[in-house]
């Protein structure tokens, strides 16, 4: 539970008042999860004297606003308050809730959530897209009081924290699954033949194959839609450009039209962007790959 107070003596935690960001909001989520019940004060100004846990304010251990602050990750991105708190408390929290493989889960969350929030807050976030999109950090900012309304800032902050807590739960669950998948894919790596990974069940393999640096071009697996899928491997994680696309003459075709064009008996569908093809059997899913490779 989070209690907001105006009494500095009562507060055990301090962050800044005014416009809130994903940084201080997720810091609050982490502190509430670790300590369970926190009393927090939001101030316009504060000098960290070490008597309270102050984040994103105060120029202490968990603030990144000092003129000489230059604490960076190995990739060159600076830490912000959330990153600094995560380094101190993240692993301890995962151990506290008895997560399996806490060190690996810590690393996944740090890589896929914390680093992005750090980069956004420090002005180091770069999105290569021809349009503006909502990021997690910008979604948090949507909870700020709207101009022309009588919304109280403290209530808006707590709503943002509640939203961030839901997101953190989903990220934590996803990180746990990613670590489990890493173990499974690592064990199956020795079965890779001709740069094709064949799975006996569908598991979210994408992160694992890039994290493990596997040299593969295709993955075949039983789809939850009741058929077998042959999926290309993109040139980058979360990308859509396949290393080797399926044949362009199959693009967007289904069933009889695809069977006729491909010569594959149980062919069902080929995505028009040529990164996915499905068939009723594993053997026929592999035939999509065999036929495609003939052109390379």
Residues 132 and 273 in one domain: no
Q: Residue 226 pLDDT more than 90?
A: no
- For residue 117, what pLDDT is reported? 96
Containing structural domain, residue 274: 192-293
Number of neighbours of residue 88 by Cβ within 10 angstroms: 15
Shared domain for 197 and 176, answered yes or no, is: no
Same-domain pairing of 156 and 279? no
Residues 209 and 131 in one domain: no
User: How much is the average pLDDT of 170-177?
Assistant: 98
Q: Other C-beta atoms within 10 Å of 58: how many?
A: 24
Residue 186 lies in a domain: no
pLDDT digits (tens, 9 = 90+) for 73-128: 999 999 999 999 999 999 999 999 999 999 999 999 999 999 999 999 999 987 76
The Cα diameter of the chain in Å comes to: 77
Q: End of a domain among 181, 210, 230?
A: 181
Would 187 be classed as within a structural domain? no
Band (296; pLDDT cuts 50, 70, 90): confident
Domain match, 17 and 109 both: yes
DSSP 272-292: TTSSEEEESSHHHHHHHHHHH
Main-chain dihedrals φ then ψ at residue 80, nearest 5 degrees: -115, -170
Give the tens place of pLDDT for each residue, 18-33.
999 999 999 999 999 9
Place of tokens 């989520």: 29
Q: Do 118 and 65 share a structural domain?
A: yes
Structure tokens at 290: 């065999």
Residue 274 has pLDDT above 70, yes or no: yes
DSSP run (H or E) holding 260: helix 255-262
User: Phi-psi bin for 151: left (phi > 0), alpha (psi -120 to 50), beta?
Assistant: beta
For residue 130, pLDDT beyond 70: no
**Residue 146 and residue 156: Cα distance in Å, rounded?**
10
CA angle 128, 64, 22 (to 5 degrees): 55
Residues 118 and 241 grouped into a single domain:
no
Number of domains in the chain: 2
Q: What is the mean pLDDT of residues 154-174?
A: 98
């Amino acid at each position: 539970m989070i209690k907001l107070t105006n009494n500095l003596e009562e507060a055990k935690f301090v962050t800044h008042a005014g416009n809130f960001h994903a940084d201080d909001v997720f810091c609050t989520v982490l502190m509430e999860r670790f300590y369970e019940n926190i009393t927090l004060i939001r101030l316009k100004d504060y000098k960290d004297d070490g008597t309270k846990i102050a984040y994103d304010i105060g120029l202490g251990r968990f603030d990144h606003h000092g003129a000489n602050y230059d604490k960076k990750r190995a990739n060159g991105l600076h830490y912000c308050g959330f990153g600094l708190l995560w380094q101190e408390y993240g692993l301890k929290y995962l151990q506290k809730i008895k997560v399996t493989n806490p060190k690996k889960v810590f690393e996944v969350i740090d890589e896929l959530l914390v680093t992005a929030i750090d980069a956004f807050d420090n002005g180091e976030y770069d999105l290569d897209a021809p349009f503006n999109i909502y990021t997690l950090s910008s979604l948090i900012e949507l909870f700020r009081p709207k101009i022309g309304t009588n919304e109280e800032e403290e209530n808006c902050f707590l709503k943002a924290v509640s939203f961030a807590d839901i997101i953190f739960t989903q990220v934590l669950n996803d990180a746990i699954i990613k670590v489990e998948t890493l173990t499974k894919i690592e064990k199956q790596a020795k079965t890779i033949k001709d740069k094709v990974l064949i799975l006996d069940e569908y598991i979210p393999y994408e992160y694992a194959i890039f994290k493990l640096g596997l040299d593969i071009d295709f993955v075949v697996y039983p789809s939850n839609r009741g058929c077998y899928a042959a999926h290309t491997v993109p040139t980058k994680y979360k990308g859509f450009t396949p290393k080797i696309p399926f044949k362009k003459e199959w693009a967007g075709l289904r069933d009889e039209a695809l069977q006729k064009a491909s010569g594959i008996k149980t062919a069902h569908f080929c995505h028009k962007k040529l990164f996915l093809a499905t068939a009723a059997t594993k053997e026929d899913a592999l035939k999509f790959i065999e036929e495609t490779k003939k052109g390379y």
